[in-house]
Amino acid sequence: MNAKPPAIPALDGLRAMACLAVLYRHIGELAIDAPFLYGKSGVNLFFTLSGFLMTHHYLPDSLSWRYWIAYLIRRFFRVYMVFAIVMLMFWACSEFWKPLPIFEDFNGDTLINELTLHGFISTYWTIAIEIKFYLFFPIIGILFLLLKLSPQKKFILMTLALAGSLMLNPFNDIEDRSILWKHIPYFIGGMWGALTIQTFDLRQLMPTRVWNGVLLICLLAAIPYAFFLQMDFFNPQHIHYDHLYYLVCPLFAVITVMATLCSGWMLWLLANPAMRFIGLISYSLYLCHRLVWGIGLNLFPAPSLSMACSIVAFTFVFATAFHYVIEKPFNNYGKKLAAKILDATDKKTC
């Protein structure tokens, strides 16, 4: 198998932006009045990044059962085990602080539903969707190999899949957000983005300053979606927000592609040390913020602005510790276990 492609630093910045968007959306739980932000914009960007990264890093070039077992083991320890630990912590806290709104509906049955990917409490429903996509992704990889498609044909097929998922998706009007197919256009958009940069040498088409400009325009175009489109003043109630994915899904896919091409000031904006660090701990931050905020609200039922800001700051400290103590060790163990499964001729750090 081919070697693992190098990491793309700018994508850490996009991951950080997505995580911060979700945190900002939930900040009202701490009684902080903040300008409205459509938190689902961060969730949809996460889905797009997942589709991109799975295709960029894990799309194989040979049929190997060992590879897919190693892939599933990596995903299990990297995503599910960390998620399960947070759910156990959430359940333990709920036993002590039941009256709080964040914990009051969480019980033993809720824990089982979450661990079996059938529960969809606020925030954590997205993890179940991610895991379902990870289970679906091998089907696409195996299909590509069985059809023996060239990179150009893969790109054409994914372009058609993206268009079809946008125009013909029968699940878009369904309120149940637990259905993977309701969100599949974002994952396919990310996959389309990865195949775009694998198929075409876009850096040769235009100077990097042009790509920087395109990325800036796309990011600015995403601002109305993130901030305004749920406000009654901007968006009449008869408009269904999920219908916006006809525009937003391709926009996020293009943003992801442009992020791989940016340089200079735009690269610094997305890949400076602060953004890369937030991107590094983004999964732990995403999982832990509601847990920490729930405990903070128990200790300070009516926090002042300064105390609420302190709770947010402590959330970053807690998430950092959780990343290095829990998330990273599980990830490393998954890597080692996956490497043992791959034989000498099929070895690849997946």
Helix (H, G, I), strand (E, B) or coil at 349: coil
> pTM for the complete prediction?
0.89
**DSSP-assigned states of every residue in 97-165:** -TTSTTTTT--HHHHHHHHTT----TTTHHHHHHHHHHHHHHHHHHHHHHHT--HHHHHHHHHHHHHHH
Task: Render pLDDT for 97-143 as a digit per residue (tens, 0 to 9).
Answer: 665 666 667 778 888 888 888 866 667 889 999 999 999 999 999 99
Q: Residue 248: its pLDDT value, please?
A: 83
Local mean pLDDT, 10-residue blocks, the chain (350 residues): 72 93 77 60 90 91 84 95 93 74 74 81 83 94 89 93 82 72 91 94 83 87 65 44 70 92 90 95 94 81 76 93 97 93 55
- Residue among 199, 310, 297, 296 at smallest CA distance from 257: 199
Rounded Cα gap, residues 341 and 299, in angstroms: 47
pLDDT of residue 107: 78
Q: Which residues of 273-310 are buried (b: 16+ CB within 10 A; e: fewer)?
A: eebbebbbbbbbbbbbbbbbbbbbbeeeeebeeeebee
| Alpha-carbon gap, residue 187 to 162, rounded angstroms | 9
pLDDT the model gives residue 97: 67
Residue 205 · residue 64 · CB < 8 Å: no
